[in-house]
Amino acid sequence: MTIHTPAKPHIDNASMLDRPSREEAEAAVRTLLRWTGDDPDREGLVDTPSRVVRAYEEFFAGYTVDPVDLLARSFEETDGYDEMVVLRDIRLESHCEHHMVPIIGRAHVAYLPEGRVVGISKLARVVEVYAKRLQIQEKLTAQVANTINEVLKPKGVAVVIEAAHQCMTTRGVHKPGVTMVTSRMLGAFRDDPSTRREFLAMIAGQRGSVEG
Protein backbone atom coordinates (compact mmCIF):
# COMPACT_ATOMS: atom_id res chain seq x y z
CA MET A 1 0.00 0.00 0.00
CA THR A 2 1.33 3.39 -0.98
CA ILE A 3 0.68 6.23 1.44
CA HIS A 4 0.93 9.81 0.25
CA THR A 5 1.66 12.53 2.79
CA PRO A 6 1.94 16.00 1.24
CA ALA A 7 3.99 18.72 2.81
CA LYS A 8 2.04 20.59 5.42
CA PRO A 9 1.23 24.16 4.35
CA HIS A 10 1.47 27.04 6.75
CA ILE A 11 -1.94 28.01 8.07
CA ASP A 12 -2.18 31.31 9.87
CA ASN A 13 -4.62 30.85 12.76
CA ALA A 14 -4.90 34.49 13.76
CA SER A 15 -7.88 33.76 15.99
CA MET A 16 -5.62 32.01 18.50
CA LEU A 17 -3.31 35.00 18.92
CA ASP A 18 -3.62 36.99 22.15
CA ARG A 19 -6.14 34.48 23.51
CA PRO A 20 -7.53 35.58 26.90
CA SER A 21 -6.88 33.43 29.93
CA ARG A 22 -9.53 31.11 31.37
CA GLU A 23 -9.95 33.51 34.28
CA GLU A 24 -10.60 36.42 31.90
CA ALA A 25 -13.12 34.33 29.99
CA GLU A 26 -14.97 33.38 33.17
CA ALA A 27 -14.99 37.03 34.26
CA ALA A 28 -16.59 37.93 30.92
CA VAL A 29 -19.37 35.40 31.52
CA ARG A 30 -19.96 36.89 34.99
CA THR A 31 -20.32 40.30 33.36
CA LEU A 32 -22.91 38.95 30.93
CA LEU A 33 -24.84 37.32 33.77
CA ARG A 34 -24.93 40.67 35.58
CA TRP A 35 -25.98 42.37 32.33
CA THR A 36 -29.00 40.06 32.08
CA GLY A 37 -30.10 41.36 35.47
CA ASP A 38 -29.22 38.24 37.46
CA ASP A 39 -26.77 37.68 40.31
CA PRO A 40 -23.73 35.57 39.31
CA ASP A 41 -23.10 34.84 43.01
CA ARG A 42 -26.42 33.11 43.65
CA GLU A 43 -26.31 29.35 44.12
CA GLY A 44 -27.64 28.39 40.71
CA LEU A 45 -25.16 30.60 38.84
CA VAL A 46 -22.02 30.51 40.94
CA ASP A 47 -20.43 27.77 38.79
CA THR A 48 -21.96 28.92 35.50
CA PRO A 49 -18.92 30.89 34.28
CA SER A 50 -16.64 27.87 34.50
CA ARG A 51 -19.28 25.64 32.90
CA VAL A 52 -19.75 28.09 30.02
CA VAL A 53 -16.02 28.29 29.39
CA ARG A 54 -15.73 24.49 29.33
CA ALA A 55 -18.67 24.33 26.95
CA TYR A 56 -17.04 26.93 24.68
CA GLU A 57 -13.86 24.84 24.59
CA GLU A 58 -15.97 22.05 23.11
CA PHE A 59 -18.13 24.24 20.86
CA PHE A 60 -15.10 25.97 19.30
CA ALA A 61 -12.51 23.20 19.37
CA GLY A 62 -12.07 23.59 15.61
CA TYR A 63 -9.73 26.53 16.09
CA THR A 64 -7.07 24.22 17.53
CA VAL A 65 -7.13 21.63 14.72
CA ASP A 66 -5.62 21.93 11.23
CA PRO A 67 -8.09 20.31 8.78
CA VAL A 68 -5.29 19.85 6.22
CA ASP A 69 -3.52 17.50 8.64
CA LEU A 70 -6.62 15.31 8.76
CA LEU A 71 -6.44 14.67 5.01
CA ALA A 72 -2.66 14.44 4.75
CA ARG A 73 -2.57 10.64 4.98
CA SER A 74 -4.05 9.25 1.78
CA PHE A 75 -3.80 5.91 -0.01
CA GLU A 76 -2.96 5.18 -3.63
CA GLU A 77 -3.56 1.41 -3.68
CA THR A 78 -7.23 1.41 -4.68
CA ASP A 79 -7.33 -1.34 -7.37
CA GLY A 80 -8.25 1.35 -9.86
CA TYR A 81 -11.34 2.57 -8.00
CA ASP A 82 -12.38 5.83 -9.61
CA GLU A 83 -16.10 6.06 -8.86
CA MET A 84 -17.80 8.54 -6.58
CA VAL A 85 -17.16 8.39 -2.83
CA VAL A 86 -20.11 9.82 -0.90
CA LEU A 87 -20.55 10.42 2.80
CA ARG A 88 -24.06 11.62 3.55
CA ASP A 89 -25.95 12.80 6.62
CA ILE A 90 -22.91 13.95 8.60
CA ARG A 91 -24.32 15.51 11.78
CA LEU A 92 -23.28 19.16 11.95
CA GLU A 93 -23.28 21.42 15.00
CA SER A 94 -21.94 24.93 14.57
CA HIS A 95 -22.53 28.47 15.83
CA CYS A 96 -23.58 31.57 13.94
CA GLU A 97 -20.84 34.19 13.94
CA HIS A 98 -23.41 37.00 14.09
CA HIS A 99 -25.32 35.94 17.21
CA MET A 100 -23.29 32.97 18.57
CA VAL A 101 -26.34 30.70 18.61
CA PRO A 102 -26.45 27.14 17.24
CA ILE A 103 -26.61 26.02 13.63
CA ILE A 104 -27.79 22.39 13.53
CA GLY A 105 -27.89 20.31 10.39
CA ARG A 106 -26.33 17.74 8.11
CA ALA A 107 -23.56 17.78 5.54
CA HIS A 108 -23.20 15.57 2.48
CA VAL A 109 -19.71 15.25 1.01
CA ALA A 110 -18.52 13.54 -2.16
CA TYR A 111 -15.39 13.37 -4.25
CA LEU A 112 -14.20 11.59 -7.39
CA PRO A 113 -10.77 10.07 -6.66
CA GLU A 114 -7.82 10.78 -8.90
CA GLY A 115 -5.74 7.78 -7.85
CA ARG A 116 -5.86 8.55 -4.10
CA VAL A 117 -8.47 8.03 -1.43
CA VAL A 118 -8.70 9.02 2.21
CA GLY A 119 -10.37 7.36 5.20
CA ILE A 120 -14.02 8.34 5.26
CA SER A 121 -13.86 9.35 8.92
CA LYS A 122 -11.42 12.07 7.88
CA LEU A 123 -14.07 13.65 5.66
CA ALA A 124 -16.45 13.81 8.60
CA ARG A 125 -13.70 15.28 10.78
CA VAL A 126 -13.03 18.05 8.23
CA VAL A 127 -16.70 19.01 8.44
CA GLU A 128 -16.51 18.91 12.24
CA VAL A 129 -13.37 21.04 12.48
CA TYR A 130 -14.78 23.84 10.34
CA ALA A 131 -18.18 23.58 12.03
CA LYS A 132 -16.65 24.01 15.47
CA ARG A 133 -15.75 27.60 14.66
CA LEU A 134 -17.91 30.71 14.44
CA GLN A 135 -19.45 30.40 11.00
CA ILE A 136 -21.84 31.40 8.31
CA GLN A 137 -23.14 28.41 6.38
CA GLU A 138 -21.96 29.66 3.00
CA LYS A 139 -18.36 29.95 4.19
CA LEU A 140 -18.49 26.60 5.99
CA THR A 141 -19.64 24.88 2.80
CA ALA A 142 -16.86 26.44 0.73
CA GLN A 143 -14.16 25.71 3.33
CA VAL A 144 -14.98 22.00 3.45
CA ALA A 145 -15.05 21.65 -0.35
CA ASN A 146 -11.97 23.76 -0.97
CA THR A 147 -9.85 21.92 1.60
CA ILE A 148 -10.73 18.48 0.22
CA ASN A 149 -10.05 19.73 -3.30
CA GLU A 150 -6.70 21.32 -2.45
CA VAL A 151 -5.32 18.39 -0.45
CA LEU A 152 -6.63 15.32 -2.31
CA LYS A 153 -6.64 16.92 -5.79
CA PRO A 154 -9.54 14.73 -6.97
CA LYS A 155 -11.45 14.96 -10.23
CA GLY A 156 -14.21 16.75 -8.39
CA VAL A 157 -15.68 17.61 -4.99
CA ALA A 158 -19.26 18.25 -3.93
CA VAL A 159 -20.55 19.51 -0.59
CA VAL A 160 -24.17 20.16 0.34
CA ILE A 161 -25.17 21.43 3.78
CA GLU A 162 -28.74 21.57 5.11
CA ALA A 163 -29.13 23.36 8.43
CA ALA A 164 -31.50 25.19 10.75
CA HIS A 165 -30.27 28.45 12.26
CA GLN A 166 -31.43 29.37 15.74
CA CYS A 167 -30.64 33.01 15.04
CA MET A 168 -33.73 32.77 12.81
CA THR A 169 -35.86 30.29 14.77
CA THR A 170 -35.47 31.54 18.36
CA ARG A 171 -34.99 35.27 17.81
CA GLY A 172 -35.58 37.90 15.13
CA VAL A 173 -38.25 36.69 12.71
CA HIS A 174 -38.99 33.56 14.81
CA LYS A 175 -39.54 31.18 11.88
CA PRO A 176 -39.08 27.59 13.10
CA GLY A 177 -38.88 24.77 10.59
CA VAL A 178 -36.91 26.77 8.03
CA THR A 179 -33.88 24.97 6.57
CA MET A 180 -31.06 26.66 4.69
CA VAL A 181 -29.37 24.66 1.91
CA THR A 182 -25.97 25.56 0.48
CA SER A 183 -23.75 23.74 -2.02
CA ARG A 184 -20.27 23.91 -3.44
CA MET A 185 -19.47 21.95 -6.61
CA LEU A 186 -15.94 21.72 -7.97
CA GLY A 187 -14.38 19.95 -10.94
CA ALA A 188 -16.53 17.21 -12.46
CA PHE A 189 -19.44 18.02 -10.18
CA ARG A 190 -19.56 21.55 -11.56
CA ASP A 191 -18.72 20.75 -15.19
CA ASP A 192 -20.60 17.48 -15.77
CA PRO A 193 -24.38 17.64 -15.22
CA SER A 194 -24.70 13.84 -15.10
CA THR A 195 -22.12 13.59 -12.29
CA ARG A 196 -23.89 16.32 -10.38
CA ARG A 197 -27.27 14.61 -10.86
CA GLU A 198 -25.85 11.28 -9.66
CA PHE A 199 -24.55 12.90 -6.47
CA LEU A 200 -27.81 14.75 -5.79
CA ALA A 201 -29.78 11.55 -6.37
CA MET A 202 -27.57 9.68 -3.89
CA ILE A 203 -28.18 12.20 -1.12
CA ALA A 204 -31.87 12.63 -1.87
CA GLY A 205 -34.64 10.79 -0.04
CA GLN A 206 -36.47 10.92 3.24
CA ARG A 207 -34.34 12.02 6.16
CA GLY A 208 -35.24 13.26 9.61
CA SER A 209 -35.51 16.91 10.51
CA VAL A 210 -32.16 18.70 10.67
CA GLU A 211 -33.18 19.91 14.11
CA GLY A 212 -33.52 16.34 15.36
From 23, 24, 98, 138, the catalytic residue: 98
Active-site residue flag, 57:
no
Active-site residue flag, 98:
yes
Active-site residue flag, 95:
no
From 166, 167, 198, 211, the catalytic residue: 167
From 99, 114, 166, 198, the catalytic residue: 99
From 96, 114, 150, 211, the catalytic residue: 96
From 23, 77, 97, 138, the catalytic residue: 97
SS (HEC) of the chain: CCEECCCCCCCCCHHHCCCCCHHHHHHHHHHHHHHHCCCCCCCCCCCHHHHHHHHHHHHCHHHHCCHHHHHCCEECCCCCCCCCEEEEEEEEEEEECCCCCEEEEEEEEEEECCCCECCHHHHHHHHHHHHCCEECHHHHHHHHHHHHHHHHCCCEEEEEEEEEEHHHHCCCCCCCCCCEEEEEEEEHHHHCHHHHHHHHHHHCCCCCCCCC
Active-site residue flag, 10:
no
From 135, 137, 143, 162, the catalytic residue: 137
Sequence-ordered list of residues with C-beta below 8 angstroms from that of 21, at least 6 positions apart, any chain:
none
**Residues noted as catalytic:** 96-99, 137, 165, 167
